[in-house]
Structure 1
């Protein structure tokens, strides 16, 4: 059901994630998940982070539409679009200078709580989030586990572009974000019921 409360919550979740990303960006730290891949690619192209993030998620809409349903796909598309726009606006109008360690902790917290809000309203930020929610519904695997494994691959790939110290501090943000998601995310009833249905199929 598309309610005002739902869309306001999605907007709030995207805002938290966008602010967390911006804080990490301001300290030259890596971002987790698909956003992390976008930050790596940003170093290799002339495209902005928002544009790369939006483009990276296009293939995942097929997976979302096929296995997660039209409603989830629409909410995810809107969330990705909102995040792309918000990060562009923050990069242009919000200038920050943040200590890297503090940025890693605060950025990880903001992204983690933002993702929880999106998960609880049947939405995601695409890419790894779509895969995490699919694995949760299909096999009961907690999203925090999928996220931290994906982040490990991102960190390894980042060593080709970023300094080892930047990657090491970024791992603090990854750990904080995964800890928040792991401790506070609880699959809603519709997720458990549909997950059981898929498992029996």
Structure 2
């Protein structure tokens, strides 16, 4: 694959995810996985989402390096750094005031399609994305199943931390994200039940 094409695709995927998360953050809504945890902590700490997202993913680089290889880890590190930077830029320069139903729908779709682009170009956004890619390559478990589990875990934490109204609208984002990944993500043939050896 052409290097320029790959990195343009990774950049485009990060832009879609960053915009989707910014829309959700602006409406006080959540998304799944490590991003969802960062969005919850953003409301409980003085740190921004970009800062929290970068910090939360740090431990997962070890798993990625040892099980998924150097190229995947480097691509993922760059993707996470890029998403964190884009999130900071949007926080300062992009103002969005949108109906929460539309926010949940559009935010979930944008994050879902952005993740698909990253998965197809040997990258992820860390955290549970790394776990989903590992399980897919090692055991052939579709990424949508891991994403659904992540949705449930974040939802359980959100019940304690957020208002019922925000949780309800966030379920729209959860549903659209899982739907998009489940229908459009196609793991490559070599990713199915591939034996992964420690580095």
TM-score (norm 1): 0.95
Map 1:75-114 onto structure 2 (within 5 A).
75-114=75-114
Alignment-derived partner of residue 183 in structure 2: 183
Alignment-derived partner of residue 21 in structure 1: 21
1:74-122 CA distance string (max 9 Å, x none): 0000000000000110010000101001111111110000000000000
Q: Distance in 2 between matches of 1:44 and 1:184?
A: 34
Question: Shift of residue 198 of structure 1?
Answer: 4.0
Alignment-derived partner of residue 45 in structure 2: 45
Q: Distance in 1 between matches of 2:196 and 2:89?
A: 40
Q: Distance in 1 between matches of 2:138 and 2:195?
A: 9
1:55 and 2:45 matched: no
Q: Distance in 2 between matches of 1:141 and 1:196?
A: 11
Alignment-derived partner of residue 155 in structure 1: 155
1:4-44 CA distance string (max 9 Å, x none): 11000000000000000011111111122100000111122
1:143 and 2:147 matched: no
Aligned length: 197
Alignment-derived partner of residue 115 in structure 1: 115
RMSD (Å) for aligned C-alpha atoms: 1.3
Q: Distance in 1 between matches of 2:26 and 2:196?
A: 42
Can you give the 5+ residue segments of structure 2 that lack an aligned partner in the other structure? Answer: none
Map 1:26-37 onto structure 2 (within 5 A).
26-37=26-37
Q: Distance in 2 between matches of 1:131 and 1:146?
A: 8
1:36-79 CA distance string (max 9 Å, x none): 00011112211111000000000000110010000000000000
Q: Distance in 1 between matches of 2:196 and 2:80?
A: 26
Pick closer, same or farther for the CA change 1:139–1:160 going to 2, 3 Å: same
Specify the SS of the correspondent of 1:96: coil
Q: Distance in 1 between matches of 2:21 and 2:83?
A: 10
Question: Shift of residue 183 of structure 1?
Answer: 0.2
Pick closer, same or farther for the CA change 1:2–1:56 going to 2, 3 Å: farther
Can you give the 5+ residue segments of structure 1 that lack an aligned partner in the other structure? Answer: none
